[in-house]
Amino acid sequence: MTNPEIPATPPSAPNRVEIKVRKNGSLLVTGDFTLIDHEGREIVRPVGKPNTSLCRCGHSAKKPFCDGAHRSVGFCDPPDTPPAADTHGGGTPPAPVAPA
Ligand code: FES
């Protein structure tokens, strides 16, 4: 899914960070970035890996990193929703509408 209002960044752009939402799984972060905890301390990422997999299911024993627990708990993405009208650049989906 591509937002036509956000210009595409060439894959070869230096210092580009890409975050891929994996189907029924983690957030796969590729690029040069620093991970900071709630107190401002750096969280050291696994060494020697070209990317970092962050948990989004909430069940990893190694948070914020994914340890594969999403598979054993059966984590599933929510159903696809159409992109929201982007008025502030955040792409927040609209609130659900109660059935009539
Ligand atoms: S997304 Fe993999 S353990 Fe949570």
Q: What is the pLDDT of residue 18?
A: 96
89/14 Cα distance (integer angstroms): 23
Q: For residue 58, give the ligand 1 atom closest to its CA.
A: 4
Distance 33 CA to ligand 1 centre (A): 20
Q: Which residue from 66, 76, 77 has its CB within 8 A of the most atoms of ligand 1, so it is best to mutate? A: 66
Q: What is the pLDDT of residue 36?
A: 97
Give the three-state DSSP class for 73: helix
**DSSP state letter for 33:** -
43/47 Cα distance (integer angstroms): 12
Q: Tens digits of per-residue pLDDT, 11-67?
A: 567 789 999 999 999 999 999 999 999 999 999 998 888 899 999 999 999 999 999
To the question of pTM greater than 0.85 for the whole model, the response is: no
Do 61 and 68 touch, CB atoms closer than 8 A? no
Whether 72 has a pLDDT exceeding 80, the answer reads yes
